[in-house]
Amino acid sequence: MSVPTQATTAASLPETPEGVGPLLAAIERLSTASLTEIAQRLHVATLPYVASSALVIFTEDCTGRPQKKSGDESVISQVSIAELDAVRELLAGHEAWQGRALIGGQERPVLALPSPTNALLVLVDPRPAAGERGEAPAELEVPGLVRYLWNLAAERIREKVADAPPSYLIESRAASAERVRVTAELVDRHSTTLETLLAALRSPALADDAARKSATDVAAKALVELRTLNDRTTELVEEPVATAFQRLREDLRPLTHFSGIDVQFIEPPVNGRALPGEVAHAARAIVRGLVLAMVEQPDVRRIRTQWDCDGENLLINVRDDGMGNLSADAPSITRLNQRVEVLAGRMTIDLMQGWGADVAVTLPLDPPGRKLPDAAAWDLGERELEVLQLLAAGQRNRGIAAKLHLSENTVKFHLRNIYRKLGATSRTEAIAMAHSNGLH
């Protein structure tokens, strides 16, 4: 199934190469593609220049579905985030990387290209367009038109994510939550198995020390990789609030540079709660929209934007020094308000004639859900409920301990009590019960 990526700004796209007449149709199709079509259209557009059996785009802008794929189903159905992360590491610092890498569960020839937006393009089984399928040449020159088409596709994705309709935000948030749930179940099952294996292999009752050491090393490595995958998945669906705000500053930098308007940024607390990906993207889009609407007013010389976090909500304030003529009924403001409402947030506009407009936006950090109707029946203490909430959010014991400033042994103590009170026989069952009662 196809999925989304990230992109570049129009100003950062390379100049259009000469002789692109035959490409105009492909460029037009890429420029109008939806998020679900972009991978397939890019694949078709690149085939005349670099043939490939499959194309994969990997981005962290689309938190619900960070991959978009086209081509050989046996390849694209098996591609994992861990494999794409490994390819990205091989590409680091290079304009392109070509070689053999693990993709779709098998080692295959690949060609990887970066983008200015940190999105990754991977072509599987790359070869000259006129060549036969097989090993990629040792040095396959990447045509400039392929880079151009890739940057164009990446820009299209960024624009579509920034202006995503309410239905996309809802679907993306649901996909993000489902990924965390599934990953938590996998980590729980495999971690328990590997921890049990390690305990047995470390037992002094085993005589073959060399075999035990070798097996222990292999199992320990697998356990580290599994936990790294869990951490990586969490990173994809969350963004530190300070990082999200810095990306907003970068987005608005051209405006502050060329408009002559002083856009001031009040930094959020560095240790504020991480933002779900959909909230971070929506917050940046909302602030960008508000700033652009304010810039269009006469007599505006200064705009101030501020983010804060109260632990449950992202609090946004944008204020200008104009004459207080910002229209709450303007189409652009109405569209922004719809984005806010999709995330169960609220927007208020305070107009002060002769003094400017003050816009406050509150975005909940958690999806709306019913509070535990069975919490009273479970008879959980306040700390036990906090532990259960973090458990349901996909946190491991170490992460729970760090967030609540407890020792891991104390977390284990609380978990034993939680399992007993819920009647759960495993970590996975406790997570499922929490989810079914509105805890995420």
pLDDT confidence tier of residue 73, bands split at 50, 70 and 90: confident
Average pLDDT rounded to a whole number, residues 402-427: 86
pLDDT confidence tier of residue 193, bands split at 50, 70 and 90: low
Q: Which of 2-6, 96-100, 119-123, 306-310 has the lowest mean pLDDT?
A: 2-6
The pTM assigned to this predicted structure is: 0.49
Helix (H) or strand (E) holding 136: none
Any idea of the CA torsion for 429, 432, 436, 440, to the nearest 10 degrees?
130
Residues 56 and 68: beta-carbon distance below 8 Å: yes
Q: Amino acid identity of 129?
A: A
For 337-353, the pLDDT digits (tens) are 888 887 889 999 998 88
Please identify which residue in the block is written with the tokens 């393009």: 121
Give me the pLDDT at residue 362, please.
94
Give me the pLDDT at residue 13, please.
40
DSSP state letter for 204: T
Taking 50 as the threshold, does the pLDDT of residue 4 lie above it?
A: no
Taking 80 as the threshold, does the pLDDT of residue 364 lie above it?
A: yes
pLDDT confidence tier of residue 20, bands split at 50, 70 and 90: low
Average pLDDT rounded to a whole number, residues 218-233: 68
Average pLDDT rounded to a whole number, residues 199-215: 69
CB-based burial label for 404 (10 Å; 0-12, 13-18, 19+): middle
Taking 80 as the threshold, does the pLDDT of residue 163 lie above it?
A: no
CA-atom Rg of the chain in angstroms = 25
Average pLDDT rounded to a whole number, residues 167-192: 60
Q: Which of 170-174, 235-239, 345-349 has the lowest mean pLDDT?
A: 170-174
Q: What percent of the chain lies above the pLDDT cut of 70?
A: 73
pLDDT confidence tier of residue 147, bands split at 50, 70 and 90: very high
Q: Amino acid identity of 55?
A: L
- Give one DSSP letter per residue of 149-165, joined into a string: HHHHHHHHHHHHHHT--
- Give the chain's mean pLDDT: 79
Give me the pLDDT at residue 50, please.
92
Average pLDDT rounded to a whole number, residues 75-83: 84
Residues 26 and 123: beta-carbon distance below 8 Å: no
**Residues with Cβ within 8 Å of residue 75, at least 6 apart in sequence:** 53, 54, 103, 104, 108, 124
Residues 125 and 135: beta-carbon distance below 8 Å: no
Taking 70 as the threshold, does the pLDDT of residue 22 lie above it?
A: no
Residues 82 and 229: beta-carbon distance below 8 Å: yes
Taking 90 as the threshold, does the pLDDT of residue 101 lie above it?
A: yes
Count of CB atoms situated within 10 Å of the CB of 250: 10
pLDDT confidence tier of residue 66, bands split at 50, 70 and 90: confident
- Give one DSSP letter per residue of 18-48, joined into a string: S--GGGHHHHHHHHT--TTTHHHHHHHHHTT
Exposure string over 351-388, b if 16+ CB within 10 A, otherwise e: beeeebbbbebbbebbbeeeebeebeebebeeebbbbb
Tell me the C-alpha distance between 357 and 300, whole Å: 10
Give me the pLDDT at residue 74, please.
84
pLDDT confidence tier of residue 12, bands split at 50, 70 and 90: very low
Exposure string over 158-174, b if 16+ CB within 10 A, otherwise e: bebbbebeeebbbebbe
For 110-140, the pLDDT digits (tens) are 999 999 878 899 999 999 886 444 554 556 7
